[in-house]
């Protein structure tokens, strides 16, 4: 039996490498999103701490300077949180782009694998047909030899 050789194997290999690279890019985008989300969570917790401190400052003796500093800190945290939300949204967009790229590369790889599979099926069919033809030729030859032997014996 002849050996199967897929003529576009180099393209399939490139598609596999591209898929691996897209998976790595997706993983990096996911890590970036997780990092930005963690920063946002940290900022939100800090803001909540400032709010709790503000409540404690309003009970007991009032220290206007500390209250003002705390209020400014809360306002600053609001700005930081708003900026960080934009960073999270940008990271989400990056993740979505990486996901779309990965999906496209996987689709292309799958297409080439299907083409390879069909080429292999065609190869098997051609081999089966070739082997059948060889068997027919061999059978015809053997039959012809027997007839020649019978003719020469008589």
In a domain, 97, yes or no: yes
Q: What is the pLDDT of residues 15-45, one digit of tens each?
A: 999 999 999 999 999 999 999 999 999 999 9
Looking at residue 93, which CATH number applies to its domain?
A: 1.10.287.1700
Q: What is the pLDDT of residues 103-133, one digit of tens each?
A: 999 999 999 999 999 999 999 999 999 999 9
In a domain, 86, yes or no: yes
In a domain, 5, yes or no: no
User: By the 8 A CB rule, do 88 and 37 touch?
Assistant: yes
In a domain, 62, yes or no: yes
d(CA 75, CA 88): 20
- Side-chain-facing half-sphere of 40: CA atoms under 13 Å: 17
The parent domain of residue 26 ranges over 10-112
Helix axes 64-153, 9-57, angle to 10 degrees: 160
Number of domains observed in the structure of the chain: 1
pLDDT bracket for residue 150 (50, 70, 90): confident
Q: What is the pLDDT of residues 125-138, one digit of tens each?
A: 999 999 999 988 88
In a domain, 4, yes or no: no
Q: What is the pLDDT of residues 50-98, one digit of tens each?
A: 999 988 888 877 888 888 999 999 999 999 999 999 999 999 999 999 9
Written as six digits, the tokens of 122 are 């065609």
In a domain, 91, yes or no: yes
């Amino acid at each position: 039996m002849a050996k199967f050789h897929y003529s576009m194997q180099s393209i399939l290999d490139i598609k596999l490498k591209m898929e691996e690279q897209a998976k790595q890019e997706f993983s990096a985008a996911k890590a970036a999103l997780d990092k930005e989300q963690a920063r946002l969570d940290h900022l939100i917790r800090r803001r909540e701490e400032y709010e709790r401190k503000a409540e404690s400052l309003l009970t007991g003796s009032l220290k206007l300077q500390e209250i003002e500093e705390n209020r400014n800190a809360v306002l600053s945290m609001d700005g930081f949180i708003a900026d960080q939300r934009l960073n999270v949204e940008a990271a989400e967009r990056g993740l979505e782009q990486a996901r779309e790229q990965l999906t496209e590369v996987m689709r292309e790889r799958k297409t080439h694998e299907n083409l390879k599979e069909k080429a292999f099926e065609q190869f098997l069919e051609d081999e089966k047909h070739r082997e059948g033809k060889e068997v027919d030729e061999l059978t015809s030859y053997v039959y012809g030899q027997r007839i020649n032997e019978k003719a020469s014996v008589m």
